[in-house]
Structure 1
Amino acid sequence: MAKDLRITLGKSQIESKNQGDPHFPWKPGTWEAAMEAYRAGIRVPEPRQFIVISSDSLIDSPEKLQKLADLPSVPEVIETNEAFEFPESTGDTVRVSGLLWDEFTGLRDRTELRQILVWMPHWRKKELHRRAAYIVTSVKEENAISGNADEESSGTQGD
């Protein structure tokens, strides 16, 4: 009898979640719709970090961004406006290019960045929202890490 009671209670909990339980975060059919979209080839775009292309920064052309970030091709340039913390505020026109996360971290490791906000369309809803964009302010010294390693290794050889 106890086994049947556990099965009955388990089924009732599963059924309540499938019928729109307010404590369950997804609407009924959400997982099924997501699986169908996946099978149909619909994919969520990979997240991107935006780099400002401006004559005021070290990156003044998409070709320079390609070279500095070691990109396989010249990145697409998107024109948008700078955003501020105030709702629906718009600043100057800004040109940006999106980098995938690995590309961005490589660039971030080699450069100094300053963050601003820009208006970008949401990938699904297409309405504008504020996103971070980064201005390259300087290139870090390439030999700073290897220079320290050389000093440490030369110090240990003398002992």
Structure 2
Amino acid sequence: MVPISILLNVVHGFSALIYFGGVMLFGAVFAPKLAKLSNSTVFELMRDVFPSVLSFAEAVGLLTMVFGAGEFLYYMLEFYRSGGVAEVYHVLFSTPWGASVFSGALIGLVGFLVGVKIASTFESLFRLYKSVDPSKIDEIKILETRLRFYSLVGMVLLTTTVLLMVLAVSFLPLPR
């Protein structure tokens, strides 16, 4: 039988790799290039491609977050069982592993909220592109600029989170 911690870790890690790769690809490659594409190409992408890609990214992001939170809670419950609240407090705030995991989780949560903002910006863009109203071009340009900014902020937060988590699970010893 596979221990729950391994299952949580594998699903969290695998979905995080997919999500991180997707966010980095979109944020570093696609978002900066949207303004350089023709309106008809962007229209086709917004109408036909991005809605399904966005749904997939949201699903994988939620999967990553849920299994990461499950993994975090699993470890915190184990520390609680071994020493109560004082042990959990000590692990989170007095060990390098705990500080790395806790700060990574908080930054990851903020990054997820930025991702929600990106998704809502995309949905606004989808609606504007479907309306085909020429007077909405200025509003579209503003939303595309916001999208590039949010993508950059999201990439920085997500990269920081990934680095903290890799540090915790690869180099820092798990507290005893």
Q: TM-score when scaled to structure 1?
A: 0.25
Structure 1 or 2: larger strand share? Answer: 1
- Give the structure-2-normalised TM-score: 0.23
Q: Compare relative contact order (CA 8 Å, sep 6+) and give the higher one, 1 or 2.
A: 2
Report the structure, 1 or 2, having the larger helix content: 2
